[in-house]
Amino acid sequence: MTLRRVALLVATVAGLVFGSGAADAAPPAAGSDGAGDSYYPQDGNGGYDVADYHLTVGYNPATHQLRGDQVITARATESLRSFNLDLEGLTVDSVRVNGKVAAFSRNGEHELTVTPQRPLRRGEGIVAEVVYHGVPAPISDPLLGDNGWQYSASGGAFVAGEPHSAATWYPVNDTPKDKATFHLSITVPKEWGVIANGREVGTHGNTHVWAEETPVVPYMTTVGIEQWEFQRGRLGDGTPVVSAFAPGTSDATKAAEARLPEILDFLASKFGPYPIDAAGGIFLAEPIGFSLETMSRPIYSGRAGNIQTIVHENAHQWYGDSVAVEDWKDVCLNECFASYAQWLWSEAKDGQDLDTRYRSTVASASAQFWAGKLYDMGPGKEFTSVYSKGPMALHALRRQIGDNAFNLVLRTWPALHRNENASLPEFQRYVERVSHQSLQGFFDAWFYGNSKPADQYLYPGSLKPQA
């Protein structure tokens, strides 16, 4: 069956599933060219909600040429005469909407505007097929370095980056606000292996098929093309585990990843059942500036294959992946919790006294440390204090509300918002309900403020200095 026929079939099914909706009083309008994030307002788009990406890619490492055919299944959330997708640099060859040729144009850094032959009604199913090609290029970030599609010294390629990355290799609604399932079929020369998100569906000749059935934020999708060494297994509940190691990966890194089932069992004891449909890791040779919690299968810098980093990135499967940020100013909900997971691991596995660790950090902290914000820190500053001041704030919160309430919050918050988005103010309100405490002063001091907390918030509970 051709992709065109598949698109037409899916369009018919989508219309049945989503429905055409009642006629709107308002005339069809152009969908927004941004999703309205307070830091990156042009990222993502408005007017529709994506259910699934079905991406077919051919990639030649020798020439870096990529050819893609993306089928997006979505639903119009308003009457649309046109809508936008995000795509960085690559050349669009054709677009079809619900089986019919559509007009398209490019503007700005990443906007692909699609105009169907007829307007779309609110509630109507959309199947957009975009055929494209080109040489993908990363997005440069002043703090993290390259984001998105990147090249390895071996000639392979991989995808990693936040807050942007997906638009460097496929057309997408590139916002954390729009999660969707992700299906990838990628063809590469026979000497190359492929790893991606989700479960291995199979390999047919030189074509590798992966399926991520847990709804995923676009920047958490990935693919790695390399001469991988694979390790496969299963968790106790049957969840498949696939890890891939680039040539030259150390035995110490492989031994650390071999403890992944133990790590996930520990994290599940703190955060509740593992919320993703697969597990594993992607271990690069390249010493990139970060590791990243790509869904089901974090991707690791060549200098970061250690237990603490593996704990951190897999904690994100609960805090950051299953529950994603509502807005980038809420990123503490990702990074503060993943960083505190490292503290919890050290407490449980290494016998570390976290109160002592906390007091030692307070004693040595600089004015710059306290000036870092954990909420609404400003664009480009998201990935700073959340790693250092963030776990301190959570440990103080633990002592403020007590272990019983704190542990209950850690376990129930991810279940309450599974496969959804959430904000830090929402988290505050939830903690207040669970703990039966008014915590505005505490959150003002630790999360919303940019100065050293007063002693009543700095030393709650057992953190009070000994007389």
Instruction: Give the confidence band of 22 by pLDDT, cuts at 50, 70, 90.
Output: very low
Q: With contact defined as beta carbons under 8 Å apart, do 300 and 285 qualify?
A: no
- H helix intervals, 365-402: 367-371, 389-401
- Residue 34: helix, strand or coil by DSSP? coil
The confidence score (pLDDT) of residue 142 equals 78
CA distances from 141 to 36, 163, 271, 454, 465 (A): 21, 10, 32, 35, 42
- Residue 381: helix, strand or coil by DSSP? coil
Domain boundaries, the chain: 3-227, 233-317, 328-463
Q: Which helix (H) or strand (E) holds 251?
A: helix 251-257
Which of 25-39, 185-199, 279-293, 401-415 has the weakest average pLDDT?
25-39
- Report whether pLDDT(383) > 90: yes
Euclidean distance between CA atoms 379 and 128, whole angstroms:
32
Mean pLDDT confidence for 50-69? 98
- Report whether pLDDT(129) > 80: yes
On the question of a common fold for 3-227 and 328-463, the answer reads no
The confidence score (pLDDT) of residue 25 equals 63
Query: Which of these, 60, 42, 48, 217, lies nearest to 123 by C-alpha position?
Result: 48
The confidence score (pLDDT) of residue 19 equals 44
CATH topology of domain 233-317: Zincin-like (3.30.2010)
**Tokens representing 12?**
């018919």
Query: Which of these, 194, 189, 205, 203, lies nearest to 65 by C-alpha position?
Result: 189
Looking at every residue in the chain, the average pLDDT score rounds to 94
Euclidean distance between CA atoms 460 and 21, whole angstroms:
54
- Report whether pLDDT(202) > 80: yes
- Report whether pLDDT(16) > 80: no
CA atoms within 13 A on the CB side of 395: 27
Euclidean distance between CA atoms 291 and 247, whole angstroms:
18
| Placement of tokens 């704030």 in the chain | 393
Read off the pLDDT of residues 154-177 as tens digits, 9 standing for 90 and up.
999 999 999 889 999 999 999 999
The confidence score (pLDDT) of residue 30 equals 94
Q: What is the CATH number of domain 3-227?
A: 2.60.40.1730
The confidence score (pLDDT) of residue 420 equals 97
Determine if the peptide bond prior to 163 is cis (ω within 30°).
Answer: yes
The confidence score (pLDDT) of residue 76 equals 98
Provide CB contacts within 8 A for 444, sequence distance 6+: none
Strands 29-30 vs 80-86: parallel, antiparallel or unpaired: parallel
- Residue 77: helix, strand or coil by DSSP? coil
The confidence score (pLDDT) of residue 432 equals 98
CATH superfamily of 328-463: Neutral Protease Domain 2 (1.10.390.10)
Strands 323-325 vs 420-422: parallel, antiparallel or unpaired: parallel
% of the chain beyond a pLDDT of 70: 94
Burial class of residue 218 in the structure, from the number of CB atoms within 10 Å of its CB (0-12 exposed, 13-18 middle, 19+ buried): buried
- Report whether pLDDT(95) > 50: yes
- CA 182 remoteness from chain centre: 13
- H helix intervals, 272-385: 307-315, 332-350, 354-364, 367-371
Query: Which of these, 290, 278, 280, 387, lies nearest to 332 by C-alpha position?
Result: 387
Euclidean distance between CA atoms 179 and 422, whole angstroms:
13
- CA 401 remoteness from chain centre: 30
- Give pTM, 2 decimals: 0.93
- Report whether pLDDT(5) > 60: no
- H helix intervals, 402-460: 403-416, 424-435, 440-443, 455-458
Q: With contact defined as beta carbons under 8 Å apart, do 299 and 224 qualify?
A: yes
The confidence score (pLDDT) of residue 23 equals 46
First to last CA, the chain: 77
DSSP single-letter state for residue 444: I
| Placement of tokens 């669970």 in the chain | 434
The confidence score (pLDDT) of residue 466 equals 73
Provide CB contacts within 8 A for 61, sequence distance 6+: 155, 156, 157, 188, 189, 192, 225
Better-predicted residue by pLDDT, 204 or 465: 204
Mean pLDDT confidence for 13-18? 44
Euclidean distance between CA atoms 243 and 279, whole angstroms:
8
- Residue 322: helix, strand or coil by DSSP? coil
Q: With contact defined as beta carbons under 8 Å apart, do 208 and 188 qualify?
A: yes
Instruction: Give the confidence band of 465 by pLDDT, cuts at 50, 70, 90.
Output: confident
